[in-house]
Amino acid sequence: MKYQRDNGGFSLVTALFLLVILAALGVFVITISSTQQATSTLSILDARAMAAAQSGMQWAVHRARNQPADLGCGGAGASFSLQGPGLDGFSVGIACVVTPNIVEGGDPPYSMYALTVTASRGVLGSPDYVRRILQATVTDAP
């Protein structure tokens, strides 16, 4: 008497195993893809925040050397929102501390400005929040 083996159950287990492995691989690929996209977006926002902070610093340095009253040193400081492609939505705040009438040797007196520029976008705690701070010291000496 000959017996036939039934291999139908083994094929079903193999097929289920392959489906589970392929599903796990699909979830992994989707997770990696979304993480890469989020990282890329945050890198772009970081670069834009740095550009916004540098723009604010250039404005503040120019004002410190030419129109220091516009900086609001010792008071509320200055702030503005940027417009235009790439920097739209960024707000820039400038804090200034002035040290007036510095005299060195026989030179005429000058003022020294400690500038802190903060550029930010979004709300603290949100996934797209970004902020950059730059500091510089400038004089109005000739």
pTM here is 0.72
What percent of the chain shows pLDDT beyond 70?
94
Average pLDDT, the chain: 86
- 48-105 pLDDT tens trace: 999 999 999 999 999 888 888 777 787 778 888 888 887 888 999 999 998 888 888 8
- Across the beta sheet with 110-121, the strand order is 78-81, 91-102, 110-121, 130-139
- Percent of the chain scored above 90 by pLDDT? 35
Cα 119 from Cα 86, distance rounded (Å): 13
